[in-house]
Structure 1
Amino acid sequence: MSGSRSIIGTIVKNFIQSFKPRQLKGNFAGKDYFGNKYYEIPADPQRGRRKPSRWFEPLDKEEYCQELPAEWEAWLRGRRDFAPTEEELQKNLELMRMKKQNALLIAQEQAAATDKLDKTETLSRPTVPFPKYGEYENYPGEKT
């Protein structure tokens, strides 16, 4: 009998909680340098939501292939608990630009180095024909 009371009590409690207002709009979490906006509805264990709901609104809603910064993507997928700060985003953006610039300089240096090599000067290796061994057959049943 006491088990039925707890079931009825749970049903009544859940029925009453269903009338309480829920958060349908997300809290603004931030914006990235592409112009995407990020939102979150925090976790509410009392309502059965154990993980926060996170999403983003792209700048161009028609484009399906969006580029996201790594920090925001980690936040969206739940790999990090807190949204990235502006300082962190700026620092990583400067680091990304520096790496692109260094890669461009290295590519230019390599292109200049290959241009300096004389095209006529090649590594000369004597051409050696493929070895032929007497104990092996070239064709089945035929020895050379």
Structure 2
Amino acid sequence: MAQKPTRDILGIIWQNFWKSLRPRQFRGNYIGEDYFGNKYYEIPANPSIGKRKASRWFEPADKDAFDQELTAEWEAWLRGRREEPPTREELVKNLQIMDMKKRNAAELEATYAKAKDDKALPKQVEGQTVGTYPKYKEYEFIPGKEPPEK
């Protein structure tokens, strides 16, 4: 026979106290590893003890380095934006796409650097510098003051 839930305040406090004495899981379940060597762990949610969200964390490959790199897929899993951890195939596919983009960017940079070397920079016009607005004698530079005479 199932126990009837109590509406008594003291009964609720006693049940919560009793549940708090149960052993809890402190060590996480190993979930996976990325190609940087970071290891990912999780303690799943347990609504019966009031834990609604899973606890997720990672152990970095180099514990002394403060600038850790995480893949976008694993970071989304850590932050709870995705339920399932990324698969090995998904990580490999996205790594190949990332490498392809780096190669394409290097090729474009080389192409534009070559085209830039072929073109000569425009000559400076008197009173103007390359990359700034033109300066005219008849316009004031400081509002309310006369333009400087040359």
Q: Mark yes or no: TM-score above 0.5.
A: yes
Partner of 2:3: none
* CA–CA separation in structure 2 for the residues paired with 1:125 and 1:61: 54
Find out whether 1:71 has 2:73 as its counterpart: yes
* CA–CA separation in structure 1 for the residues paired with 2:86 and 2:7: 48
Deviates more, 1:15-24 or 1:62-71: 15-24
Partner of 1:130: 136
TM-score by length of 1: 0.79
Deviations 1:71-127, CA, capped at 9 Å, x for gaps: 11111111111111111111110000000010001001111112223x3xx546976
Which residue of 36, 46, 50 maps to 1:34?
36
Q: Quick one: which amino acid aligns to residue 67 of structure 2? A: C
Q: Which runs of 5+ in 2 are unaligned?
A: 1-5, 128-134
Partner of 2:146: 139
Change beyond 3 A, Cα 1:5–1:127: closer
* CA–CA separation in structure 2 for the residues paired with 1:33 and 1:139: 66
Deviations 1:42-74, CA, capped at 9 Å, x for gaps: 111121111110000000001111011111111
Which residue of 9, 15, 18 maps to 1:16?
18
Deviates more, 1:19-28 or 1:37-46: 19-28
Which residue of 96, 99, 109 maps to 1:97?
99
Q: Quick one: which amino acid aligns to residue 30 of structure 2? A: F
* CA–CA separation in structure 1 for the residues paired with 2:41 and 2:123: 64
Give the % identical residues.
Answer: 53
> Secondary structure at the residue paired with 1:99?
helix
Structure number with the higher helix fraction is 1
Partner of 2:48: 46
Kindly report structure 1 stretches of 4+ aligned residues shifted beyond 4 Å.
122-129
> Secondary structure at the residue paired with 1:9?
helix
Q: Which runs of 5+ in 1 are unaligned?
A: none
Aligned-residue Cα RMSD (Å) equals 2.6
Deviates more, 1:104-113 or 1:124-133: 124-133
